[in-house]
Amino acid sequence: MQALLAASASSLPRPGGGVTFRYAAAPMATSPMLLLLVLGAETAGPVQEIPRELPRGKYMSPSVPGEVRTIGPTGSLGPDVYRRRRKALMERLKTGATLVVNEARFEGSREGMEFYYLTGIDEPGAALLLDPASPDPEVLFLRPLDVERGQWEGDRAKLPSQAIETTSGIAQLSRTSRLGAALIRACLHGGLNFVGEFVAAPDPKPKTLVWYAETQERMLGGRGPEGCRLNDHHGTLARMREVKEPEELKLMRKAIEHTAAGHARVLEVLRPGLREFELKDAVEEAFRRSGSRHVAYDSIVGSGPNGAILHYPKDDRAMKDGELVLVDAGAEEQSYATDVTRTYPVSGKYSPEQREIYEIVLKAQAAGIAAAKAGVTPRTIDRAVRKVIDDAGYHDAALHGCCHFVGLEVHDKGDYEAPLPPGAVMTVEPGIYLPQRGYGIRIEDEILITPTGAEVLTRAIPKDPDEIERRMQRRRAEAR
């Protein structure tokens, strides 16, 4: 085809109405593609490349054995410790089956450590089923094997695996794809026990309760005699975790050593002009040099008015002469947390006003520690702390409670309404926050509850204002 039709601008009337357009051939150069478009022909799509055999590199063949990731306790607490805890839980419950799903996560701090407490295993997606009436009273459920996912996350062992049975201390292994069927069978052995904590909306439901609801629905839809009974034992694991075993206390004391190294570093480097993140980096680097692999929670470093923000999220301000800096930072040892707060003078010396408020907070903490012993409730300790602050006239500047449990989670599980048992570890952390004056002061220590009182576990970290000033001034004199 040598020409493209082009419409002329003229038109003629057609008998009976309408318009007849007159077209004239207009010679023009055309490309084959333009011609196809005008004629309405479809263009060819992209041509898919035909696979071809590629050369194989000479180093593609294996020369070292594969290393399959082990599953089991990796710290100093061996399988026997976790086996003892599982046995104690089953003895408390006496009947029924108990599911504990791994919901461990770090979102500013560790949470959901119930599964880890019973197994020492940090395998994502795993679950533990305890059923004393079953031929297999302990079953560890692992995610289905995914070879391609292993390229990203590390190879995982096939089942059965004697290695995992040995390292985990649990003889019966299965995949979570079979957990639903196992729960239906377990319902026939006295129902299903819930031993975790209730969670209020809008937070997600515990995964254990999600599994239980699905099981009930598939067993004639309810809790009746033909369905699956749920046994409410909520808080059981929390009360077990309250009392720290000797092995746990040893790890917590080690975590406190790491934490002490970080706070000691504050006294060495703190000066006007230093930025908050630089101080935070120095503290956390000291944790690591001491041997800690992880912080217990996101460290808080708030200078000046930022110290009056309880969980100050940023750390980019430069500290000024005459200000205070609040440092809330703790290290971990094998997932066991420490929680310590100190408030330091940036210039190395507290002003008269700062010292006056500091002494009130210190006195309030001393009152709380003096009130702590086995048999009293956390509320009793809180009242002792608040009385000192209220009597000083700072009721409205005390923004939080005095105490929380510490353990595998920095805000560990426990019963805050019940009398404290010997062996519980908790914080005493009064604070007075005065943003209108440009500062906040918090002093936080960990205590171990004993039958007759409380041992201050973090006493080696200085909090006496005279000692803090002496150490800071001595370091500055040495640096000159």
pLDDT in tens, 283-300: 999 999 999 999 999 999
Looking at residue 149, its pLDDT comes to 82
Which of 242, 260, 284 is at the close of a domain? Answer: 242
Q: Are residues 250 and 375 in the same domain?
A: yes
CA distance 408 to 335: 6
pLDDT digit string (tens) for 344-398? 999 999 999 999 999 999 999 999 999 999 999 999 999 999 999 999 999 999 9
Q: Are residues 344 and 430 in the same domain?
A: yes
Which of 242, 265, 296 is at the close of a domain? Answer: 242
Q: Are residues 91 and 107 in the same domain?
A: yes
Q: Are residues 325 and 191 in the same domain?
A: no
User: In this structure, is residue 54 part of a structural domain?
Assistant: no
Q: Are residues 345 and 446 in the same domain?
A: yes
Short-list 432, 431, 427, CA closest to 372? 427
User: In this structure, is residue 426 part of a structural domain?
Assistant: yes
pLDDT digit string (tens) for 221-236? 655 555 789 999 999 9
Q: In b/e form, how buried is each residue of 1-25, taking b as 16+ CB within 10 angstroms?
A: eeeeeeeeeeeeeeeeeeeeeeeee
User: In this structure, is residue 35 part of a structural domain?
Assistant: no
Q: Are residues 235 and 337 in the same domain?
A: no
Residue 96 has pLDDT above 90, yes or no: yes
Confidence of residue 15 (pLDDT cuts 50, 70, 90): very low
Q: Are residues 236 and 251 in the same domain?
A: no
pLDDT digit string (tens) for 404-452? 999 999 999 999 999 999 999 999 999 999 999 999 999 999 999 999 9
What pairs with residue 156 in β-bridges? 69
Looking at residue 222, its pLDDT comes to 55
Q: Are residues 233 and 255 in the same domain?
A: no
- Residue-level length of the chain: 480
Which of 179, 208, 242 is at the close of a domain? Answer: 242
- Written as one letter, the residue type at 160 is P
Q: Are residues 268 and 137 in the same domain?
A: no
Long-range contacts of 469-473 (CB under 8 A, 24+ apart): 469/345, 469/348, 469/349, 469/350, 471/267, 472/267, 472/270, 472/344, 472/345, 472/348, 472/349, 473/348, 473/349
CB atoms within 10 A of CB 438: 17
Looking at residue 462, its pLDDT comes to 98
Contact 448, 374 (CB under 8 A): no
Short-list 116, 22, 109, CA closest to 330? 109
User: In this structure, is residue 431 part of a structural domain?
Assistant: yes
Short-list 392, 279, 393, CA closest to 325? 279
CATH of the domain at 410: 3.90.230.10
Q: Are residues 455 and 322 in the same domain?
A: yes
Rounded mean pLDDT, 270-282: 97
CA angle 229/232/236 to nearest 5° reads: 140
With a CB cutoff of 8 Å and minimum separation 6, the contacts of 43 are 33, 36, 37
User: In this structure, is residue 349 part of a structural domain?
Assistant: yes
**Number of structural domains, the chain?**
2
User: In this structure, is residue 390 part of a structural domain?
Assistant: yes
User: In this structure, is residue 51 part of a structural domain?
Assistant: no
Q: Are residues 452 and 466 in the same domain?
A: yes
Q: Side-chain half-sphere of 20: how many Cα atoms within 13 Å?
A: 7
The residue whose two tokens read 């839980």 is 89
User: In this structure, is residue 348 part of a structural domain?
Assistant: yes
Domain that holds residue 302: 246-479
| Poorest-pLDDT segment among 73-82, 232-241, 283-292 | 73-82
Residue 35 has pLDDT above 50, yes or no: no
Looking at residue 19, its pLDDT comes to 46
Looking at residue 221, its pLDDT comes to 60
SS3 116: helix
Looking at residue 24, its pLDDT comes to 45
What pairs with residue 99 in β-bridges? 129
SS3 463: coil
CATH of the domain at 171: 3.40.350.10
Q: Side-chain half-sphere of 39: how many Cα atoms within 13 Å?
A: 13
Confidence of residue 22 (pLDDT cuts 50, 70, 90): very low
Short-list 102, 121, 90, CA closest to 193? 90
DSSP strands (E only) in 27-136? 97-101, 105-106, 110-111, 127-130
Q: Are residues 303 and 433 in the same domain?
A: yes
Confidence of residue 94 (pLDDT cuts 50, 70, 90): confident
| 80 to 87, 174, 236: CA distances (angstroms) | 10, 21, 21
